[in-house]
Structure 1
Amino acid sequence: MKKNVVLGTGPAGLTAAIYLARANMNPFVIEGPEPGGQLTTTTDVENFPGFPDGIMGPELMDNMRKQAERFGTEFKRGWVTGVDLSKRPFKIKMEGMEDIETESLIISTGASAKLLQIPGEKENIGRGVSTCATCDGFFFRGKKIIVVGGGDSAMEEAHFLTKFAAEVRVVHRRNELRASKIMQDRAQNNPKITWSLNHTPVEVVAGDKGVTGLKVRNNQTGQEEIFETDGIFVAIGHTPNTSFLNGQINTDDLGYVKVTPGSTVTNIPGVFACGDVQDHKYRQAITAAGSGCMAALDCERFLEGEAVHDWSESL
């Protein structure tokens, strides 16, 4: 039986593993189908402290993994199909492997950005297609950018990107936006933002150096055209990776794990959540890493018999 299991190897999970390993808690980390998380699909990371010249996303995650290994973290590649959190030790069900039992569990499985599922999209992530304006907006200074989406996230990203881009075009398949009135007003009053509503993205157009345009279909006329652009930001939401929990952990309406404010504690004693799986507001590598540290400290105190909170039923 394991003392602790960490699910996920993004910045949150690996930071938790580093802290737990240094505290002699023998963390056992399960890597899912995307080791390293979303940062492995990012090129230059320029906003993670400690790297004045920036660092490639995959390199940053590889360094974190090596650091966790250095202190004795054990890694296992596999697919988690379910968990039994009804009693301790908790059981983790693995595809094609025996169940794993653990005294404590840290959930850091992240959230997956929703994609358009159109030709040219996936293969150009990191080559002009992005799902994070805060992460990648700086690289498009003085460029033309398209933001796809009609909700609050899309309006927020479009407004943010005008700090860098020469022009931001919002493309939305409906004739009306879904964003709140205040977010719509902010975007519509921004002179750098243009609008292409009632247009459905059909294909990402790219050349040798990356994205060059977005092919769209006018929903009213059926005609297709290509909007020239240097970058496409897909802002149609995220899906937290929590389906394997089968409702055993309290989540909000969007499916994100609920934690006691100021901690990583869930409604089940001994189960903690960190990173994007419980954060739909910031979604940054540094905030994920910080919450991974919190989860490790909360978990360590729990295993040592300290009360990390009153296990309130309010969650």
Structure 2
Amino acid sequence: MAKERIHQDVVIIGAGMAGLTAALYAGRMNLATLVLENGIVGGQIANATGIENYPGFRQVAGRDLIATLQAQAESFGAVIDEFDSIERVVLKGSPKIVETTDHIYEADAVIIASGMNRRKLPLPEERRYANRGVHYCELCDGQSYQGKVIAVMGGGNAAVDAANFLTKYASKLYLIHRSAFRADEVSVERLRQNPKVEILLDTEIRALHGEEHLSSIDVFDKNTQTEQALSVDGIFVNIGVVPNTALFADELAMEDGRIPAGEDCRTVIPGVFAAGDVRVKEIRQLTTAAADGTTAALLAGKYIESKRGGNEKW
């Protein structure tokens, strides 16, 4: 049976902060707006227990912030479709094609806001302790470990920066990495100078323990071939991220898995915009994702207007 073909002014791929903000602005411009999300609305931020760095909120749970933004977008007519997986995209030319399991959407403009996934702690117990001691965002969840023992897993700049940040909360902090540091020496030296910090290199985390919440981890020293248990209240995992861009790799060149696009969020394909964590940029925060979503939607609107007016320069 042939799939139904449906026209949309804008198709937004991803319903995280960038995608939902784009939907809000596109809806306010009276554009027929569809948001496709193959997982849960909100992405990673939906699981954040207490966000304290989003303007206008002393503290807000990720699910509450996302629910408010989703309601705003839908109030202006945006349609959000969860769990309809995208099978293929054709971004060059006009209209753009986004084919899902159930439909073929023809769009005048596409905003890619598909986000990224942090590499998970590769242990079978990870799911049991997710948000119960195992975390992936120190800015989101670090404050809840005030005066606690914290472990950070990873050896790159992101992990060392996270460890330096978390020392403001921790009574003691372990930095655990399976090999040598890959971070810059300035950040590493700052960490070494902190009396709260114990650095365990050439060390692997082998197991997690605890009842309702993480309480200890087993670590293995590859140099001495010995294993020990460490009492910890929480572990922050920072072993890299995987941008959700594989779907677009045939049509857009990538840089380390991300889509090159300037602060205007325009990609090399007219009418295709990249917003949020999928875009090549230095700073990735909720606020910058919202800014990208705003920019992408407003310029997508201008692009559509220019095409309808016969102006091909956009």
Matches within 5 A, 1:1-315: 1-52=7-58, 54-77=59-82, 78-94=84-100, 96-174=101-179, 176-208=180-212, 210-252=213-255, 254-260=256-262, 262-278=263-279, 281-305=282-306
Alignment correspondent of 2:4: none
- TM-score by length of structure 2 reads 0.91
Which consecutive segments of 4 or more residues in structure 1 shift more than 6 A? none
Query: Partner letter of residue 259 of structure 1?
Result: A
Q: TM-score, length-normalised on structure 1?
A: 0.90
Verify the 8 A CA contact 1:250 1:266 in the aligned structure 2: no
Question: Does the aligned pair in 1 maintain the 2:17–2:286 contact within 8 Å?
Answer: yes
CA distance in 1, matches of 2:80, 2:266: 24
Identity of matched residues, %: 35
Given that residues 261 and 280 in structure 2 are in contact (C-alpha distance below 8 angstroms), is that contact kept between their aligned partners in structure 1? no
Q: Is the 8 A contact 1:201 1:215 kept in 2?
A: yes
Q: Secondary structure at the match of 2:186?
A: helix
Q: 1:226 to 1:119 in 2, by over 3 A?
A: farther
What code does the residue aligned with 2:106 have? E
Q: Answer yes or no: is the 8 Å Cα contact 2:138–2:162 preserved in 1.
A: yes
SS at match of 2:306: coil
Give the SS at the match of 1:2.
Answer: strand
Shift of 1:258: 1.0
| CA-CA distance at 1:162 after TM superposition | 1.1
CA distance in structure 2 between the aligned counterparts of 1:60 and 1:123, rounded to whole angstroms = 25
Post-superposition Cα deviations, 1:208-260, rounded to whole Å, max 9, x if no partner, equal 2x2212222222344332211111000111111000112312321x1111112
Are the equivalent residues in 2 in contact too, given 1:110–1:241 (CA < 8 A)? yes
Checking the alignment, whether the CA contact within 8 Å between 1:120 and 1:206 is kept in structure 2 is: no
The alpha carbon displacement at 1:48 in A equals 1.8
In the alignment, is the contact (CA less than 8 A) between 1:258 and 1:266 conserved in 2?
yes
1:187 positional shift: 2.2
2-side partners of 1:280 and 1:158: how far apart?
22
Q: Name the aligned partner's letter for residue 244 of structure 1.
A: L
- Quick one: which amino acid aligns to residue 261 of structure 2? V
Aligned-CA RMSD value = 2.1
Change (3 A) 1:155 1:280: farther
**Native 8 Å contact 1:82 1:246 kept in 2:** no
Consecutive unaligned residues of structure 1, counting only runs of 5 or more, are none
CA distance in 1, matches of 2:228, 2:124: 15
CA distance in 2, matches of 1:46, 1:125: 20
Residue type at the aligned position of 1:200? E
Deviation at 1:279, TM superposition (A): 5.2
User: 1:47-105: per-residue Cα shift (whole Å, max 9, x none)?
Assistant: 222223x22211211121111111111122311132112211111122x3232211100
2:18·2:292 contact (CA, 8 Å) conserved in 1?
yes
